[in-house]
Chain A
Amino acid sequence: MSVLRCRALSRSFGALKAVSEVDLVVEPGARHALIGPNGAGKSTLFKLVTGTMRPDTGHVELAGQDVTTLSEVKRCRLGMSQTLQHSSLFASMTALETVELAVQRHEKGRIAFLPRKQPVVGERAGKLLADVGLIRRREVPVPSLSHGERKQLEVALALACRPSLLLLDEPAAGLSPAERARLVELLGGLPSEITVLFVEHDLDLVFALADAVTVLHLGRVLLSGPPAQVRASDAVREAYLGSSRREELWA
Protein backbone atom coordinates (compact mmCIF):
# COMPACT_ATOMS: atom_id res chain seq x y z
CA MET A 1 0.00 0.00 0.00
CA SER A 2 1.25 3.49 -0.78
CA VAL A 3 2.17 5.72 2.15
CA LEU A 4 0.54 8.76 0.61
CA ARG A 5 -1.95 9.03 -2.20
CA CYS A 6 -3.47 12.25 -3.53
CA ARG A 7 -6.49 11.82 -5.78
CA ALA A 8 -7.52 14.60 -8.15
CA LEU A 9 -6.49 17.35 -5.72
CA SER A 10 -7.47 20.87 -6.80
CA ARG A 11 -7.17 24.25 -5.17
CA SER A 12 -7.85 27.65 -6.73
CA PHE A 13 -7.23 31.20 -5.57
CA GLY A 14 -9.80 33.30 -7.42
CA ALA A 15 -9.23 32.64 -11.10
CA LEU A 16 -5.82 31.03 -10.53
CA LYS A 17 -5.82 27.23 -10.48
CA ALA A 18 -2.79 26.73 -8.22
CA VAL A 19 -3.24 22.96 -8.07
CA SER A 20 -5.38 21.23 -10.67
CA GLU A 21 -6.46 17.57 -10.63
CA VAL A 22 -3.19 16.36 -9.15
CA ASP A 23 -2.67 12.63 -8.58
CA LEU A 24 0.38 11.72 -6.54
CA VAL A 25 1.47 8.35 -5.17
CA VAL A 26 4.35 8.03 -2.72
CA GLU A 27 5.56 4.47 -2.16
CA PRO A 28 6.88 3.12 1.18
CA GLY A 29 10.53 3.93 1.78
CA ALA A 30 10.69 6.37 -1.13
CA ARG A 31 12.78 9.53 -1.22
CA HIS A 32 10.27 11.35 -3.35
CA ALA A 33 11.02 14.85 -4.67
CA LEU A 34 8.43 17.38 -5.77
CA ILE A 35 9.93 19.83 -8.24
CA GLY A 36 8.81 22.42 -10.75
CA PRO A 37 9.53 25.99 -11.85
CA ASN A 38 8.36 28.97 -9.76
CA GLY A 39 4.58 29.14 -9.57
CA ALA A 40 4.17 25.45 -10.47
CA GLY A 41 1.99 24.85 -7.39
CA LYS A 42 4.55 22.99 -5.26
CA SER A 43 3.95 24.99 -2.09
CA THR A 44 0.18 24.80 -2.41
CA LEU A 45 0.27 21.03 -3.01
CA PHE A 46 2.58 20.66 -0.01
CA LYS A 47 0.13 22.57 2.18
CA LEU A 48 -2.75 20.41 0.96
CA VAL A 49 -0.79 17.32 1.94
CA THR A 50 0.20 18.60 5.40
CA GLY A 51 -3.30 19.89 6.14
CA THR A 52 -2.28 23.53 6.49
CA MET A 53 -4.69 24.22 3.63
CA ARG A 54 -7.83 22.40 2.45
CA PRO A 55 -8.42 21.39 -1.17
CA ASP A 56 -11.47 22.59 -3.10
CA THR A 57 -11.93 19.06 -4.42
CA GLY A 58 -10.04 15.77 -4.25
CA HIS A 59 -8.69 13.54 -1.50
CA VAL A 60 -5.54 12.94 0.53
CA GLU A 61 -4.98 9.41 1.86
CA LEU A 62 -2.37 8.44 4.42
CA ALA A 63 -1.65 4.69 4.44
CA GLY A 64 -5.08 4.05 2.96
CA GLN A 65 -6.96 6.31 5.39
CA ASP A 66 -8.74 9.38 4.04
CA VAL A 67 -7.31 12.36 5.95
CA THR A 68 -8.65 15.12 3.69
CA THR A 69 -10.73 16.72 6.44
CA LEU A 70 -8.29 16.07 9.30
CA SER A 71 -6.26 18.88 10.90
CA GLU A 72 -2.48 19.14 10.76
CA VAL A 73 -2.31 17.97 14.36
CA LYS A 74 -4.39 14.83 13.70
CA ARG A 75 -2.39 13.98 10.57
CA CYS A 76 0.73 14.30 12.69
CA ARG A 77 -0.64 11.72 15.15
CA LEU A 78 -1.23 9.36 12.23
CA GLY A 79 2.44 9.45 11.33
CA MET A 80 2.81 12.45 9.04
CA SER A 81 5.46 14.85 10.23
CA GLN A 82 6.76 18.03 8.68
CA THR A 83 9.69 20.28 9.40
CA LEU A 84 8.61 23.73 10.48
CA GLN A 85 10.51 26.87 11.18
CA HIS A 86 9.40 26.72 14.77
CA SER A 87 12.64 25.69 16.35
CA SER A 88 13.65 29.13 17.58
CA LEU A 89 10.34 30.14 19.11
CA PHE A 90 11.54 30.18 22.66
CA ALA A 91 14.72 32.21 22.59
CA SER A 92 16.08 30.98 25.91
CA MET A 93 15.65 27.25 25.24
CA THR A 94 18.61 25.08 24.26
CA ALA A 95 18.64 22.59 21.39
CA LEU A 96 18.19 19.72 23.85
CA GLU A 97 15.30 21.39 25.70
CA THR A 98 13.55 22.09 22.40
CA VAL A 99 13.79 18.47 21.26
CA GLU A 100 12.70 17.32 24.74
CA LEU A 101 9.57 19.36 24.27
CA ALA A 102 8.76 17.63 20.98
CA VAL A 103 9.49 14.21 22.53
CA GLN A 104 7.24 14.92 25.51
CA ARG A 105 4.41 16.03 23.26
CA HIS A 106 4.60 12.80 21.32
CA GLU A 107 5.44 10.23 23.99
CA LYS A 108 3.66 11.63 27.01
CA GLY A 109 1.00 13.89 25.58
CA ARG A 110 1.37 16.22 28.54
CA ILE A 111 4.18 18.72 28.77
CA ALA A 112 5.97 18.61 32.12
CA PHE A 113 7.51 22.02 32.55
CA LEU A 114 10.95 22.47 33.99
CA PRO A 115 12.42 21.54 36.36
CA ARG A 116 10.41 18.28 36.45
CA LYS A 117 12.38 16.47 33.77
CA GLN A 118 11.97 12.83 32.90
CA PRO A 119 15.16 10.88 32.20
CA VAL A 120 13.50 8.84 29.42
CA VAL A 121 12.62 12.02 27.57
CA GLY A 122 16.14 13.41 27.92
CA GLU A 123 17.62 10.16 26.64
CA ARG A 124 15.47 10.01 23.52
CA ALA A 125 16.05 13.72 22.82
CA GLY A 126 19.79 13.18 23.11
CA LYS A 127 19.59 10.26 20.70
CA LEU A 128 17.69 12.36 18.16
CA LEU A 129 20.26 15.15 18.42
CA ALA A 130 23.01 12.58 17.86
CA ASP A 131 21.15 11.22 14.82
CA VAL A 132 21.09 14.63 13.16
CA GLY A 133 24.68 15.43 14.17
CA LEU A 134 23.98 18.08 16.79
CA ILE A 135 24.85 16.30 20.03
CA ARG A 136 27.83 18.55 20.72
CA ARG A 137 25.60 21.59 20.36
CA ARG A 138 22.88 20.38 22.75
CA GLU A 139 23.42 23.10 25.37
CA VAL A 140 23.42 25.96 22.84
CA PRO A 141 20.32 28.22 22.85
CA VAL A 142 18.50 27.58 19.58
CA PRO A 143 18.60 31.14 18.18
CA SER A 144 22.39 30.98 18.43
CA LEU A 145 22.66 27.92 16.19
CA SER A 146 23.75 28.55 12.61
CA HIS A 147 21.17 28.41 9.84
CA GLY A 148 22.32 24.94 8.81
CA GLU A 149 22.25 23.66 12.39
CA ARG A 150 18.70 24.95 12.79
CA LYS A 151 17.69 22.90 9.74
CA GLN A 152 19.28 19.84 11.35
CA LEU A 153 17.37 20.59 14.54
CA GLU A 154 14.11 20.88 12.60
CA VAL A 155 14.67 17.38 11.22
CA ALA A 156 15.23 16.12 14.79
CA LEU A 157 11.97 17.77 15.89
CA ALA A 158 10.08 16.18 12.99
CA LEU A 159 11.58 12.76 13.83
CA ALA A 160 10.54 13.14 17.47
CA CYS A 161 7.01 12.05 16.62
CA ARG A 162 8.25 8.82 15.01
CA PRO A 163 6.80 9.59 11.58
CA SER A 164 6.15 7.09 8.82
CA LEU A 165 6.07 9.98 6.35
CA LEU A 166 8.44 12.92 6.69
CA LEU A 167 7.60 16.07 4.72
CA LEU A 168 10.33 18.62 4.01
CA ASP A 169 9.69 22.00 2.43
CA GLU A 170 12.87 23.22 0.72
CA PRO A 171 15.21 21.67 3.27
CA ALA A 172 18.32 23.13 1.63
CA ALA A 173 17.10 26.72 1.29
CA GLY A 174 19.79 29.18 2.34
CA LEU A 175 22.37 26.52 3.21
CA SER A 176 26.05 26.76 2.33
CA PRO A 177 27.51 23.99 0.12
CA ALA A 178 29.08 22.31 3.17
CA GLU A 179 25.82 22.47 5.14
CA ARG A 180 23.99 21.13 2.09
CA ALA A 181 26.31 18.14 1.87
CA ARG A 182 25.70 17.42 5.56
CA LEU A 183 21.94 17.57 5.01
CA VAL A 184 22.10 15.16 2.07
CA GLU A 185 24.06 12.77 4.25
CA LEU A 186 21.57 13.11 7.09
CA LEU A 187 18.48 12.59 4.92
CA GLY A 188 20.13 9.83 2.89
CA GLY A 189 20.93 8.01 6.12
CA LEU A 190 17.38 7.96 7.50
CA PRO A 191 15.99 4.44 8.06
CA SER A 192 13.89 3.08 5.21
CA GLU A 193 10.81 2.80 7.47
CA ILE A 194 10.61 6.56 7.09
CA THR A 195 9.28 7.67 3.73
CA VAL A 196 10.37 11.16 2.67
CA LEU A 197 8.51 13.61 0.44
CA PHE A 198 10.35 16.85 -0.19
CA VAL A 199 9.92 20.05 -2.18
CA GLU A 200 13.22 21.35 -3.49
CA HIS A 201 14.53 23.95 -5.91
CA ASP A 202 18.08 22.71 -6.00
CA LEU A 203 18.14 20.03 -8.70
CA ASP A 204 21.61 18.79 -7.71
CA LEU A 205 20.21 17.94 -4.29
CA VAL A 206 17.12 16.36 -5.85
CA PHE A 207 19.19 14.05 -8.02
CA ALA A 208 21.57 13.25 -5.15
CA LEU A 209 18.76 12.13 -2.88
CA ALA A 210 15.57 11.22 -4.74
CA ASP A 211 14.57 7.82 -6.09
CA ALA A 212 11.26 9.18 -7.40
CA VAL A 213 10.46 12.62 -8.79
CA THR A 214 7.17 14.35 -9.56
CA VAL A 215 7.38 17.44 -11.75
CA LEU A 216 4.65 20.05 -11.41
CA HIS A 217 4.00 22.69 -14.02
CA LEU A 218 1.20 25.27 -13.98
CA GLY A 219 -0.59 23.36 -11.21
CA ARG A 220 -0.58 20.00 -12.99
CA VAL A 221 1.62 16.92 -12.90
CA LEU A 222 3.89 17.09 -15.92
CA LEU A 223 5.72 13.86 -15.20
CA SER A 224 6.21 11.39 -12.37
CA GLY A 225 8.93 8.76 -12.46
CA PRO A 226 12.47 7.76 -11.60
CA PRO A 227 15.14 10.53 -11.68
CA ALA A 228 16.69 9.24 -14.91
CA GLN A 229 13.41 9.58 -16.78
CA VAL A 230 12.92 13.12 -15.46
CA ARG A 231 16.46 14.09 -16.39
CA ALA A 232 15.95 12.86 -19.94
CA SER A 233 12.58 14.53 -20.46
CA ASP A 234 12.35 17.31 -23.05
CA ALA A 235 9.03 18.45 -21.54
CA VAL A 236 10.69 19.02 -18.17
CA ARG A 237 13.59 20.91 -19.73
CA GLU A 238 11.12 23.08 -21.59
CA ALA A 239 9.06 23.79 -18.45
CA TYR A 240 12.19 24.97 -16.65
CA LEU A 241 13.82 26.88 -19.46
CA GLY A 242 10.70 28.18 -21.20
CA SER A 243 9.57 27.35 -24.71
CA SER A 244 11.70 29.97 -26.45
CA ARG A 245 14.77 28.22 -27.77
CA ARG A 246 18.22 29.49 -27.03
CA GLU A 247 19.05 30.39 -30.60
CA GLU A 248 15.92 32.52 -30.78
CA LEU A 249 17.14 34.49 -27.79
CA TRP A 250 20.31 35.47 -29.61
CA ALA A 251 18.84 35.99 -33.05
Chain B
Amino acid sequence: MTFLQVRGLVSGYDRSTVLNAVDLDLDSGATLGLLGRNGAGKSTLVLTLAGLVSPTSGSVTVGGVELAGKRPDQIARAGVALVPQGRRVWATLTVGEHLTLAAGRRTGTWTVDGILDLLPRLRERRRQYAGQLSGGEQQMLAVARALLTNPRLVLLDEPSDGLAPAIVEQIGAVITTMRAEGVAVLLVEQDLHLAFACADEIAVMEKGALVHRVPTPQFRRDPETAGRLLGVS
Protein backbone atom coordinates (compact mmCIF):
# COMPACT_ATOMS: atom_id res chain seq x y z
CA MET B 1 0.00 0.00 0.00
CA THR B 2 1.32 3.47 -0.85
CA PHE B 3 2.38 5.09 2.37
CA LEU B 4 4.26 8.15 1.15
CA GLN B 5 2.75 10.01 -1.78
CA VAL B 6 4.47 13.09 -3.19
CA ARG B 7 2.81 15.09 -5.97
CA GLY B 8 4.20 18.09 -7.83
CA LEU B 9 6.54 19.04 -4.99
CA VAL B 10 8.36 22.31 -5.69
CA SER B 11 10.91 23.56 -3.20
CA GLY B 12 14.19 25.42 -2.84
CA TYR B 13 16.04 28.16 -1.04
CA ASP B 14 15.28 31.88 -1.21
CA ARG B 15 14.63 32.56 -4.86
CA SER B 16 16.30 29.48 -6.33
CA THR B 17 14.09 26.49 -7.07
CA VAL B 18 15.79 23.14 -6.51
CA LEU B 19 12.91 20.67 -6.75
CA ASN B 20 10.85 20.90 -9.94
CA ALA B 21 7.56 19.11 -9.39
CA VAL B 22 8.72 15.85 -7.83
CA ASP B 23 6.29 12.90 -7.89
CA LEU B 24 7.12 9.92 -5.71
CA ASP B 25 5.32 6.93 -4.20
CA LEU B 26 6.70 4.67 -1.52
CA ASP B 27 5.02 1.65 0.08
CA SER B 28 5.19 0.59 3.72
CA GLY B 29 8.04 -1.87 4.15
CA ALA B 30 9.71 -0.75 0.92
CA THR B 31 13.18 0.74 0.62
CA LEU B 32 13.94 3.15 -2.20
CA GLY B 33 17.55 4.03 -2.97
CA LEU B 34 17.74 7.60 -4.25
CA LEU B 35 20.81 8.34 -6.35
CA GLY B 36 21.95 11.30 -8.40
CA ARG B 37 24.87 13.59 -9.03
CA ASN B 38 25.84 16.37 -6.66
CA GLY B 39 23.29 19.15 -6.78
CA ALA B 40 20.54 16.96 -8.27
CA GLY B 41 18.25 17.82 -5.35
CA LYS B 42 18.40 14.62 -3.27
CA SER B 43 19.13 16.30 0.05
CA THR B 44 16.67 19.11 -0.66
CA LEU B 45 13.95 16.49 -1.26
CA VAL B 46 14.71 14.80 2.06
CA LEU B 47 14.86 18.11 3.95
CA THR B 48 11.57 19.23 2.37
CA LEU B 49 9.87 15.95 3.34
CA ALA B 50 11.11 16.46 6.92
CA GLY B 51 9.78 20.04 6.93
CA LEU B 52 13.18 21.69 7.35
CA VAL B 53 12.83 23.33 3.93
CA SER B 54 9.37 24.73 3.11
CA PRO B 55 7.80 23.69 -0.19
CA THR B 56 6.42 26.40 -2.48
CA SER B 57 3.77 24.08 -3.88
CA GLY B 58 2.77 20.45 -4.14
CA SER B 59 1.48 17.77 -1.84
CA VAL B 60 3.10 15.31 0.57
CA THR B 61 0.84 12.75 2.22
CA VAL B 62 2.03 10.18 4.73
CA GLY B 63 -0.49 7.46 5.56
CA GLY B 64 -3.14 9.63 3.88
CA VAL B 65 -2.41 12.74 5.99
CA GLU B 66 -1.34 15.92 4.20
CA LEU B 67 1.97 17.17 5.61
CA ALA B 68 3.23 19.71 3.04
CA GLY B 69 3.91 23.03 4.79
CA LYS B 70 3.62 21.55 8.28
CA ARG B 71 6.29 22.27 10.91
CA PRO B 72 9.15 19.77 11.38
CA ASP B 73 7.92 18.69 14.81
CA GLN B 74 4.41 18.06 13.46
CA ILE B 75 5.91 15.97 10.67
CA ALA B 76 8.03 14.06 13.18
CA ARG B 77 4.93 13.34 15.25
CA ALA B 78 3.22 12.01 12.14
CA GLY B 79 5.84 9.25 12.07
CA VAL B 80 8.59 10.66 9.84
CA ALA B 81 12.18 10.45 11.13
CA LEU B 82 15.23 12.05 9.54
CA VAL B 83 18.79 10.83 9.93
CA PRO B 84 20.59 13.98 8.81
CA GLN B 85 23.80 14.20 6.86
CA GLY B 86 26.92 14.46 8.97
CA ARG B 87 25.69 12.31 11.89
CA ARG B 88 25.00 14.98 14.44
CA VAL B 89 25.39 13.92 18.03
CA TRP B 90 25.57 15.85 21.26
CA ALA B 91 29.21 15.41 22.32
CA THR B 92 28.65 15.72 26.06
CA LEU B 93 25.65 13.40 26.31
CA THR B 94 26.30 9.68 26.71
CA VAL B 95 25.01 7.05 24.30
CA GLY B 96 22.46 5.94 26.89
CA GLU B 97 21.23 9.50 27.46
CA HIS B 98 20.79 10.05 23.74
CA LEU B 99 18.67 6.93 23.50
CA THR B 100 16.54 7.69 26.57
CA LEU B 101 15.86 11.22 25.33
CA ALA B 102 15.03 10.04 21.82
CA ALA B 103 12.61 7.42 23.12
CA GLY B 104 10.86 9.93 25.39
CA ARG B 105 7.63 8.54 26.77
CA ARG B 106 6.65 6.84 23.55
CA THR B 107 5.93 3.15 23.39
CA GLY B 108 6.17 1.06 20.26
CA THR B 109 8.09 -1.63 18.43
CA TRP B 110 11.48 -0.07 19.03
CA THR B 111 12.76 0.15 22.58
CA VAL B 112 16.17 1.16 23.93
CA ASP B 113 16.89 -2.48 24.76
CA GLY B 114 15.76 -3.68 21.36
CA ILE B 115 18.00 -1.15 19.63
CA LEU B 116 20.97 -2.14 21.77
CA ASP B 117 20.39 -5.80 20.83
CA LEU B 118 20.48 -4.80 17.20
CA LEU B 119 23.58 -2.62 17.62
CA PRO B 120 25.70 -4.37 20.27
CA ARG B 121 28.53 -1.90 19.72
CA LEU B 122 26.31 0.83 21.15
CA ARG B 123 25.53 -1.34 24.18
CA GLU B 124 29.27 -1.62 24.90
CA ARG B 125 29.60 2.14 24.59
CA ARG B 126 26.42 2.96 26.50
CA ARG B 127 28.13 5.03 29.20
CA GLN B 128 30.54 6.80 26.87
CA TYR B 129 30.09 10.37 25.72
CA ALA B 130 28.96 10.61 22.11
CA GLY B 131 31.92 12.91 21.45
CA GLN B 132 34.25 10.00 22.18
CA LEU B 133 32.67 7.64 19.64
CA SER B 134 34.18 6.86 16.26
CA GLY B 135 32.47 8.20 13.15
CA GLY B 136 30.81 4.84 12.51
CA GLU B 137 29.52 4.58 16.07
CA GLN B 138 28.14 8.12 15.86
CA GLN B 139 26.28 7.16 12.68
CA MET B 140 24.81 4.10 14.42
CA LEU B 141 23.72 6.36 17.26
CA ALA B 142 22.06 8.73 14.79
CA VAL B 143 20.14 5.83 13.23
CA ALA B 144 19.21 4.43 16.65
CA ARG B 145 17.90 7.84 17.72
CA ALA B 146 15.65 8.00 14.67
CA LEU B 147 14.28 4.48 15.20
CA LEU B 148 13.41 5.17 18.83
CA THR B 149 10.79 7.66 17.71
CA ASN B 150 9.06 4.58 16.23
CA PRO B 151 8.76 6.12 12.79
CA ARG B 152 6.79 4.71 9.88
CA LEU B 153 8.95 6.51 7.34
CA VAL B 154 12.72 6.97 7.76
CA LEU B 155 14.71 9.41 5.64
CA LEU B 156 18.44 8.63 5.58
CA ASP B 157 20.70 11.28 4.06
CA GLU B 158 23.98 9.66 2.97
CA PRO B 159 24.44 7.43 6.00
CA SER B 160 27.53 5.69 4.58
CA ASP B 161 29.45 8.92 3.98
CA GLY B 162 33.03 8.52 5.18
CA LEU B 163 32.48 5.17 6.91
CA ALA B 164 34.49 1.96 6.69
CA PRO B 165 32.86 -0.89 4.70
CA ALA B 166 32.33 -3.04 7.81
CA ILE B 167 30.33 -0.25 9.47
CA VAL B 168 28.33 0.36 6.29
CA GLU B 169 27.33 -3.33 6.36
CA GLN B 170 25.95 -2.95 9.89
CA ILE B 171 23.96 0.13 8.86
CA GLY B 172 22.65 -1.99 5.98
CA ALA B 173 21.56 -4.70 8.41
CA VAL B 174 19.58 -2.14 10.43
CA ILE B 175 17.84 -0.88 7.28
CA THR B 176 16.90 -4.47 6.40
CA THR B 177 15.40 -4.90 9.88
CA MET B 178 13.40 -1.68 9.47
CA ARG B 179 11.96 -3.00 6.23
CA ALA B 180 10.94 -6.25 7.91
CA GLU B 181 9.08 -4.17 10.51
CA GLY B 182 7.09 -2.44 7.78
CA VAL B 183 8.93 0.88 7.89
CA ALA B 184 9.18 2.77 4.59
CA VAL B 185 12.77 3.85 3.95
CA LEU B 186 14.07 6.56 1.63
CA LEU B 187 17.83 6.10 1.35
CA VAL B 188 19.80 8.92 -0.26
CA GLU B 189 23.26 7.73 -1.23
CA GLN B 190 26.31 8.67 -3.27
CA ASP B 191 27.78 5.26 -2.63
CA LEU B 192 26.19 2.49 -4.69
CA HIS B 193 27.11 -0.41 -2.38
CA LEU B 194 24.67 0.36 0.41
CA ALA B 195 21.86 1.31 -1.98
CA PHE B 196 22.30 -1.93 -3.94
CA ALA B 197 22.45 -4.01 -0.76
CA CYS B 198 19.29 -2.60 0.85
CA ALA B 199 16.99 -1.02 -1.68
CA ASP B 200 14.15 -2.83 -3.49
CA GLU B 201 14.17 -0.12 -6.10
CA ILE B 202 16.59 2.52 -7.30
CA ALA B 203 15.48 6.00 -8.36
CA VAL B 204 17.68 8.65 -9.91
CA MET B 205 17.26 12.40 -9.57
CA GLU B 206 18.47 14.90 -12.12
CA LYS B 207 17.96 18.66 -12.05
CA GLY B 208 15.40 18.49 -9.27
CA ALA B 209 13.21 15.74 -10.72
CA LEU B 210 12.95 11.95 -10.57
CA VAL B 211 14.03 10.76 -14.01
CA HIS B 212 14.42 7.00 -13.63
CA ARG B 213 13.06 4.32 -11.33
CA VAL B 214 13.51 0.56 -11.65
CA PRO B 215 13.88 -2.50 -9.40
CA THR B 216 17.43 -2.77 -8.02
CA PRO B 217 18.37 -5.98 -9.94
CA GLN B 218 17.34 -4.32 -13.20
CA PHE B 219 19.39 -1.20 -12.40
CA ARG B 220 22.43 -3.37 -11.68
CA ARG B 221 22.08 -5.15 -15.01
CA ASP B 222 22.22 -1.86 -16.91
CA PRO B 223 25.53 -0.16 -16.17
CA GLU B 224 25.21 1.95 -19.30
CA THR B 225 22.11 3.75 -18.06
CA ALA B 226 23.65 4.07 -14.60
CA GLY B 227 26.78 5.55 -16.12
CA ARG B 228 24.82 8.04 -18.19
CA LEU B 229 22.66 9.15 -15.25
CA LEU B 230 25.30 9.19 -12.53
CA GLY B 231 28.50 9.87 -14.43
CA VAL B 232 30.10 6.68 -13.10
CA SER B 233 31.47 3.73 -15.00
**Chain A residues within CB distance 8 Å of chain B:** 71-73, 76, 84-86, 88-93, 101, 105, 111, 113-114, 141, 143-144, 161
Contact = CB atoms under 8 A, between A and B. Distances in A.
Given A73-B129, A73-B132, A143-B51, A91 B90 contact: no
B76 interface: yes
17 contacts: A71-B129, A71-B132, A72-B91, A84-B91, A85-B86, A90-B101, A90-B145, A91-B73, A91-B76, A91-B149, A113-B100, A113-B101, A114-B105, A141-B72, A143-B52, A143-B71, A144-B73
Contacts, number: 68
Interface string B122-153: 00000001011000000000000100010000
Contacts of A91: 72-73, 76, 81-82, 149
A92 B98 CA distance: 13
Interface in B57-90: 71-73, 76-77, 81-82, 86, 88-90
A144 B72 contact: yes
Interface string B184-205: 0000000000000000000000
Residue in B88, B90, B98, B100 whose Cβ sees the most chain A Cβ within 10 Å: B90
A25 B28 CA distance: 56
A92 B91 contact: no
Given A84-B91, A143-B72, A71 B131 contact: yes
Contacts of A141: 71-73
Contacts of B131: 71-73
A93 B90 CA distance: 14
Nearest to B128: A73
Contacts of A101: 93, 101
Given A73-B129, A89-B145, A92-B76, A144 B93 contact: no
Contact of A143 (B73, B88, B132, B149): B73
Contact of A105 (B77, B86, B93): B93
B89 A86 contact: yes
B113 to A, nearest CB: 16
Contact of A111 (B51, B71, B73, B97): B97
Interface residues of B, number: 28
Contacts of A71: 129, 131-132
B64 to A, nearest CB: 22
Contacts of B97: 111
A73 B93 CA distance: 9
B91 A76 contact: yes
B90 to A, nearest CB: 5
B71 A144 contact: yes
Contact of B104 (A72, A88, A92): A92
Given A76-B92, A101-B101, 9 more contacts: A72-B132, A84-B91, A86-B90, A90-B101, A91-B82, A111-B97, A114-B105, A143-B71, A144-B71
Given A91-B149, A143-B51, A73 B73 contact: no
Nearest to A91: B76
Interface in B100-123: 100-102, 104-105
Contacts of A105: 92-93
A92 B77 contact: yes
Contacts of A73: 91-92, 129, 131-132
A43 B91 CA distance: 18
B132 A111 contact: no
A216 to B, nearest CB: 23
A128 to B, nearest CB: 16
A177 to B, nearest CB: 12
A55 B97 CA distance: 30
A230 to B, nearest CB: 31
A105 B131 CA distance: 14
A89 B76 contact: no
Contacts of B76: 91-92, 143
